[in-house]
């Protein structure tokens, strides 16, 4: 059985108003991950991703690029124990 992990990443830069959450959802679903992406009041985006460790790592690498209009300046991720189960990938 593959190693499963959950991470919480906070993405900084020009990441709101550029379809970052929707693009993150598409990439996460493609990788078979569950979790969520939401805008934070300070202009950053929070991403929670759970699934196979290698797929979570691929999403982490993708977060540094994001969609075409994004200008990512920082991605900080920590391993977490989710406070609730995720079914699919939510944006909010």
Q: Show which residues are catalytic.
A: 21, 39
Q: Is 6 helix (H, G, I), strand (E, B) or coil?
A: strand
CA 73 from centre of chain:
15
- Helix 20-30 to helix 53-63 angle, to the nearest 10 degrees? 150
């Amino acid at each position: 059985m593959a190693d499963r992990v959950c991470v919480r990443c906070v993405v900084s830069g020009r990441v709101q108003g550029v379809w970052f959450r929707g693009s993150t959802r598409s990439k996460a679903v493609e990788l078979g991950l569950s979790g969520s992406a939401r805008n934070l009041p300070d202009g950053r985006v929070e991403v929670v991703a759970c699934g196979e460790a290698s797929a979570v790592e691929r999403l982490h690498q993708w977060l540094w690029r994001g969609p075409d209009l994004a200008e990512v300046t920082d991605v900080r991720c920590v391993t977490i124990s989710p406070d609730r189960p995720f079914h699919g990938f939510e944006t909010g």
